[in-house]
Chain A
Amino acid sequence: MSDFAAKLQLYFSYPFVWYALIVGLLIALCSSLLGVTLVLKRFSYIGDGLSHVAFGAMAIAGILGLTNNMYIVLPITLISAVLLLRTGQNSKINGDAAIAMISVGALAVGYMLMNLFPSSANISGDVCTTLFGSTSILTLKPADVIICIIMSVIVIAVFLLFYHKIFAVTFDENFIKAAGVKAEGYNLLIAIITALIIVLAMNLVGSLLISALIIFPALSAMRVFRSFKRVIVCSAVISVFCAGTGIFTSIMAGTPVGSTIVVTDIAVFFIFCIASLFTRGKAK
């Protein structure tokens, strides 16, 4: 046991471990807040679609040789988020078809660009890193951490200030529109902070696993809790807990960070599924 503690102490003497922990927990918190809304609005896949767009954008940034690819990835993802939401409301193109189209397209274009203009000798390694975010969270620089903190604060502040509006738009858009509230504006707001979170989360779990970070805590919380506020709080707690556990495990066991976090999330989901069987039984 003392061996374990010593190992932990050793790791925490490195700043990059602290950076990883701070960034990881913040992203987990942000993604879980919005996750509930996205799942309930049947937008679970917007996370997936946008993360593929971000992957394509990252490929472009890599070719251009930008040191900080945030400058390209963020604007492209934001624009796509807004476009996806627009088409989602347009009756002529189906929302899920639009998401599928953009996400598959961006993935293909991104991979092709990476192959045509290889920035390093190891293309499949690069792709793997971008998709699964294998170790990038452990190579964060102080500047990345500061950007992440600022963006998370923005997301959390927006969420708290617009909490009641987000609830109302999620529950019943028709009613809210009829009552004279500009629902489109709030939908746009949701799309923008979703895009922010996805760009942030790319560093942590990579573009493929972002959906898991958004969806699993929300689904777990919805199994057990029955009011919107409790579901949000519970999903935030689950997400932060899983991210923390996942990061520790991956450091100690040497497993990839992103997938370790997601596996923890899946495990918690099953625990909550079983728990819901008992609470349901009691309610009846």
Chain B
Amino acid sequence: MGNVLHCQDIVLGWEGSAVVSGLNFNISEGDYLCILGENGSGKSTLIKALLGLNKPMSGMMIKPADMKAGDIGYLPQQTAVQRDFPASVREIVLSGCLPKCGLRPFYNKAEKELARSTMERLGIAELSKRCYRELSGGQQQRVLIARALCAAQKVLLLDEPVTGLDPKAQLDLYDLIAELNKSGVTIIMVSHDFAAAVKYASHILHIGARHQLFFGTTADYLSSDVGKLFEEKAVSENE
């Protein structure tokens, strides 16, 4: 299995002050890594670093030589702008091909074909002419995943993908992500949904306030002190 990313003693910060430090983890091809952490634990700073949008303050971040910025498909959290945006599903999925265009003003046949086949793969082909703002939350997330897959086929970074979805749609989306993972896509998912994380992920990275609490396989996590503590908390919150 090839390496996707190796992080050693990373310190991440914002405008000169450290937000989270001591990050040590490793992502291999085909992994399903779930990054758990409370709000304010530096998850969004970590996302930016993974995407190459800001550099770690110290530590080593080793990527394979053939990997460059934009090789991670990103599913951002929805913004208010998008909720009432007049755009068809096809237009949005196709915009995932934009980085491939460079300075070329229009999409070529291969890119249009990629968008079409990706929509089929995610089961949204029949929605292609529908307006994005009229879709259900789950359908919207599928559209955005299709767009991310058009930009990068191997690694997906999902930022709280199930937020705001009803339970049934959440389950569907988790199943879809698991399926993508089985077909060879490396998944990095940021979440605070403990139950789903231990159910689906192969590896867990748990960030506490300002530093890393755990990194390892899901089985190890469940038997670790951190995992047990968090599980109790998650259970009591659900009751």
Contact = CB atoms under 8 A, between A and B. Distances in A.
Interface of A: 40-42, 160-165, 167-168, 170-172, 174-181, 222, 225-231, 283
A226 B86 contact: yes
20 contacts: A160-B105, A164-B105, A164-B107, A165-B98, A167-B87, A171-B82, A172-B82, A176-B95, A178-B51, A178-B53, A178-B72, A179-B99, A180-B68, A180-B70, A181-B70, A226-B131, A227-B87, A228-B85, A231-B86, A283-B134
Contact of A229 (B91, B101, B134): B91
B90 to A, nearest CB: 8
A159 to B, nearest CB: 11
Given A164-B95, A164-B107, A181-B99, A228 B88 contact: yes
What are the 3 closest A-B residue pairs judged by CB atoms, nearest first? A180-B70, A226-B131, A227-B88
A226 B96 contact: no
B203 interface: no
Contacts of B144: 175
A260 to B, nearest CB: 28
Interface string B59-97: 000000000111011101001011001111001101110
B148 interface: yes
A222 B51 CA distance: 33
A171 B134 contact: no
A174, A179, A225, A228: residue with the most chain B Cβ atoms closer than 10 Å: A179
Contact of A164 (B73, B98, B130, B134): B98
A175 B85 contact: no
A168 B105 contact: no
A228 B129 CA distance: 11
Given A164-B95, A168-B98, A174-B79, 20 more contacts: A42-B81, A160-B105, A164-B98, A167-B95, A171-B87, A171-B95, A178-B51, A178-B157, A179-B74, A180-B52, A180-B70, A181-B99, A222-B86, A226-B131, A227-B87, A227-B88, A227-B91, A227-B129, A228-B85, A228-B88
A193 to B, nearest CB: 15
Interface of B: 51-53, 68-70, 72-74, 76, 79, 81-82, 85-88, 91-92, 94-96, 98-99, 101, 105-107, 129-131, 133-134, 144, 147-148, 151-152, 157
Contacts of A176: 95, 98
A167 B157 CA distance: 22
Given A168-B98, A171-B95, A228 B105 contact: no
A101 B113 CA distance: 48
B99 A174 contact: no
A229 B129 CA distance: 12
Contact of B76 (A164, A170, A174): A174
Contact of A179 (B70, B79, B81): B70
Nearest to A165: B98
Nearest to B92: A171
Max chain B Cβ within 10 angstroms of own Cβ: one of A161, A165, A171, A225: A171
Contacts of A230: 86
Q: Which of B98, B105, B151 has the most CB of A within 10 A?
A: B98
B64 to A, nearest CB: 16
Contacts of B72: 178
A259 B112 CA distance: 44
Contacts of B134: 226, 283
Given A164-B106, A226-B131, A171 B85 contact: yes
A175 B86 contact: no
B187 to A, nearest CB: 16
A178 B98 contact: no
A89 to B, nearest CB: 13
A201 B132 CA distance: 33
